[in-house]
Structure 1
């Protein structure tokens, strides 16, 4: 084979692709290796908001929009304050991330951005076929989800789907020091659905109506429940919508990681880097990239041992329960947030708990549906 065009081709210039490229750029081990980031979209708009928790200072603090040390969980019966220390909850707008990372990468002689859409990757010839042209590389990092993940009978799929309004109100309605993780007082009938509130100031906030459901819905449904929340809970009809945000995140135990090979590593959603039981992805991506970089430096397959079988099993069980009994959503999350400390919840979702701690959390969620899901997912 002739010398490839690039050492690495990263298919997709979204969050996972740019985080990976940023880590490669900062590591002297990769100096001199030519990398192409191929993406059909210029990423010039704020298309997402990522939130995550972490202890102390983090790598992205200089571009964070807002940080909270306090939160709330609200159900139809309970209003629980969440004191996050030693964690904080951080909000990052995608446009700030895109602009910051791209400005750093564009200054590198080793990295090039290409606007094209990759249709397929031929591992034999090590060629990515694009709509505009073809690209050869030693290794590909591919963020395109496999086509069959929504169709397989052997995995469970629900969707986290949402619409958010970034609003500015005439009155001061928000406590800017406290965000709302989940508020179930307004919800879609018999479903795991809630409102998520990220206050930026006393009169500005991102308010999102969110579903964790086996079904999708239409735009007017989100609008209906956002309007209800503003009218019935926040008691306001005087507000301006500054921005809108709409999205869908697959929450599934589909084995994305098995699609990776010696020459193609699936990344992002396509690599299973979204935490299946919560939909959180930003810090999860950071952790996967840490392991991936270690693998490359140790001459291992990049995708080797990126996942814990134990936590994959927990996620699969939880998803199965939510798929079969979506009406249990409020009850299950109420148990989760009231019978466990927020610190233990964060550690569990970060996959840092011991087996005895896992058992405690599992018992706090107990419902007969979990036993059925457990035996189905054995």
Structure 2
């Protein structure tokens, strides 16, 4: 039996799916095309924050919680104060984005929200099979992570995993206009682990303890490290925890994009849109959606040229070093922030640098481990 038929079906109502829906809604080119967004639940929860750097004003400025023009990088071998000009580092709470996106999308008759869980998409019949129904579309944008990612051992996998406390103190301890990108002074057993601080006022901040490791850890370790940092480095004995958040972000060179086709485009984490060497995804998602829209309007396959091969190779090398020598993280990141300007760093991480600037970054990070990883990944 034929299920509901749509022009586009977006499988997954997360960051990528809703950003894509917003762009489709805003462009008159897609007016009148029936579009389904299919997700197990559209319930909005306060469970994460996204941060990104950006020059000047951006389309999300009305939603951001706060922004900073100054930053810090601290390790046992470096103490760098970062002037972000002409960038700002911006924070957006997920619930504000979802509230805005869903409110905007539901004003259009072209969109329908469907609560269902898709288990399979048949690329021949273009039928998606859900628990409650089946759905046909001329094109699927699919955010599901393929099972092969969990099963294969052929690619490097690092986990960015963290837990954060949103705290409020009686005494002023934070510098409101300066966030801390990484503080390596409190590390955990020779791992790449650090503290990340987003201050909202002199008395209030989000403090996260973060690992970049090839393994996960017990819940109690995050709590132990957070409490130790607050006590020993912030010198706070009493404070109120207003909220907690935690997460696991995949950092991998797995080729998610290989599943793209003329009729199915992988998006979000399941499309490899998380920057493999950093775990950042918000602005990368925005850029990739802009490319998809341009491709469709030009008559190309939506996924045409979504990735630059050189950056995927650079990230694969970096991940291989971290996987083999996780104790090297502090040293590598210290070189990165000591020997390069903020503009150079952000342009490189945004994948907007010419090859000569790529070389400058690479030489600044030099370590024999990178040579080993270069040849390990070059052979693949």
Q: Who is 1:206 aligned against?
A: 206
Q: Structure 1 runs of 4+ off > 3 angstroms? A: 1-4
Tell me the distance in 2 between the aligned counterparts of 1:289 and 1:112.
20
Deviation at 1:3, TM superposition (A): 9.7
Deviation at 1:77, TM superposition (A): 3.0
Q: Who is 2:236 aligned against?
A: 236
Deviation at 1:179, TM superposition (A): 0.2
Tell me the distance in 2 between the aligned counterparts of 1:150 and 1:190.
26
Q: Is residue 8–residue 138 contact of structure 1 (8 Å, CA) maintained in 2?
A: yes
Residues 3, 325 of structure 1: alpha-carbon distance in 2 compared, 3 angstrom cutoff: closer
Deviation at 1:361, TM superposition (A): 0.5
Deviation at 1:76, TM superposition (A): 1.6
Give unmatched runs, 5+ long, in structure 1.
none
Pairing 1:251–2:251 present: yes
Deviation at 1:155, TM superposition (A): 1.4
Tell me the distance in 1 between the aligned counterparts of 2:139 and 2:288.
17
CA shift digits 1:78-119 (9 cap, x unpaired): 221000000000000000000011100011110111111111
Q: Is residue 150–residue 157 contact of structure 1 (8 Å, CA) maintained in 2?
A: no
Q: Who is 1:355 aligned against?
A: 355
Q: Who is 1:126 aligned against?
A: 126
Q: Who is 1:225 aligned against?
A: 225
Q: Who is 1:154 aligned against?
A: 154
Deviation at 1:350, TM superposition (A): 0.4
Q: Who is 1:336 aligned against?
A: 336
Q: Is residue 69–residue 88 contact of structure 1 (8 Å, CA) maintained in 2?
A: yes
Q: Who is 1:77 aligned against?
A: 77
Secondary structure of the residue aligned to 2:164 is strand
Q: Who is 2:39 aligned against?
A: 39
Q: Is residue 191–residue 327 contact of structure 1 (8 Å, CA) maintained in 2?
A: yes
Q: Is residue 43–residue 98 contact of structure 1 (8 Å, CA) maintained in 2?
A: no
Tell me the distance in 2 between the aligned counterparts of 1:304 and 1:77.
43
Tell me the distance in 2 between the aligned counterparts of 1:42 and 1:179.
32
Pairing 1:173–2:173 present: yes
* Matched length: 378
CA shift digits 1:166-217 (9 cap, x unpaired): 1111111111100000000111111100000000111111100000000001
Q: Who is 1:88 aligned against?
A: 88
Tell me the distance in 1 between the aligned counterparts of 2:169 and 2:283.
31
Secondary structure of the residue aligned to 1:201 is coil
Deviation at 1:154, TM superposition (A): 2.7
Tell me the distance in 2 between the aligned counterparts of 1:3 and 1:211.
44
Pairing 1:6–2:18 present: no
Pairing 1:284–2:295 present: no
After TM superposition, list the pairs within 5 Å mapping 1:178-193 onto structure 2: 178-193=178-193
CA shift digits 1:329-355 (9 cap, x unpaired): 100000000010111000000011111
Tell me the distance in 2 between the aligned counterparts of 1:312 and 1:213.
19
Deviation at 1:304, TM superposition (A): 1.1
Deviation at 1:41, TM superposition (A): 2.2
Give unmatched runs, 5+ long, in structure 2.
none
Deviation at 1:4, TM superposition (A): 5.9
Q: Who is 1:164 aligned against?
A: 164
Secondary structure of the residue aligned to 1:63 is coil
CA shift digits 1:265-312 (9 cap, x unpaired): 100001010000000000000010011111111111111110001111
TM-score by length of 2: 0.98
Deviation at 1:2, TM superposition (A): 7.4
Q: Is residue 3–residue 133 contact of structure 2 (8 Å, CA) maintained in 1?
A: no
Q: Who is 1:262 aligned against?
A: 262
Q: Is residue 140–residue 265 contact of structure 1 (8 Å, CA) maintained in 2?
A: yes
Deviation at 1:153, TM superposition (A): 3.1
